Amino acid sequence: MRSLFALQLPELLLVSVWLMARILIVEDEARLAALLRRGLEAEGYVTDVAKDGFEGELLADENTYDALIVDWRLPKQDGKTLIEHHRASGKSTPVLMLTALDDVEHRVAGLDAGADDYLTKPFSFEELLARLRALLRRPQGFERSTLYREGELVMNRERREVTWKGEILRLRPKEYALLELLLSNKDLVISRTTIAEKVWGSIVYVTDNVIDVTVSSLRQKIKDIVTGDTTGITIDTVRGVGYRLRGADSE
């Protein structure tokens, strides 16, 4: 087999096409869909476009994509339902959701449905590219786990339930979202900015004090339920940066 360097230009172009990521855009606003398609293809992506939720689901089922860009408000079937069906079919394709709905509840609902990230309209194309690149950096074969385990602590994301040795840990919505973020990034320092964005959906209206109070409350609830256990689950404060969840096997 010839090396890549020995190929002629037309063959190099063909190889580059094979290596391009394939993106499905599900967007009913024709002008926005066209702009996204043109912009992504200018960046080297291969794109397909669906104009409603049913067409998007059909294309996602019949083809293999490296990522989906899905609008929330779609004719025939909304984006949230499309994503739910896609996840229920066992596919773990990264999904970036677009929404004109700026309230936290809708964004949380989209993430709970199976979206991996979201962008609120209007948005910068450069930010969309950055978020898309971040999703595509995932290792191949990544699966969205419905369970997070740390010793006897189990988070069932499907049921939105946290238990310790079978006993339910009662958490408020923000405490649950915070614990999910920390568990999914165990031993990594999560900045207050990231916590504000992922848990509250905004870095503008959330103060450090609000974050600190929520962390303190979550710590106390974990401490109360695991009293006497030696697994050593802790949420450490990293001064000037944020927080980190550590378990018994953490170094």
Q: Kindly list the structural domains of the chain, giving each domain's residue range(s) and its CATH number in brackets, ordered by start.
A: 4-136 (3.40.50.2300), 147-246 (1.10.10.10)
Percentage of the chain modeled with pLDDT above 70 = 80
Cα 215 to Cα 199: distance, rounded to the nearest angstrom: 12
The pair of three-digit structure tokens given for residue 156, joined into one six-digit string: 């069932």
pLDDT digits (tens, 9 = 90+) for 115-166: 888 888 888 888 888 888 888 876 544 445 567 788 788 888 767 788 888 8
CA dist 48 → 45, 55, 68, 74, 129 (Å): 10, 11, 10, 16, 16
Half-sphere exposure of 36 (CA within 13 A, CB side): 30
pLDDT digits (tens, 9 = 90+) for 163-221: 888 888 888 888 888 998 888 888 888 888 888 877 877 666 778 889 999 999 999 98
Cα 17 to Cα 48: distance, rounded to the nearest angstrom: 15
DSSP code string of 104-136:
HHHHHHHHHHT-SEEEESS--HHHHHHHHHHHH
Cα 138 to Cα 131: distance, rounded to the nearest angstrom: 12
Q: pTM of the entire structure? A: 0.52
Cα 83 to Cα 49: distance, rounded to the nearest angstrom: 16
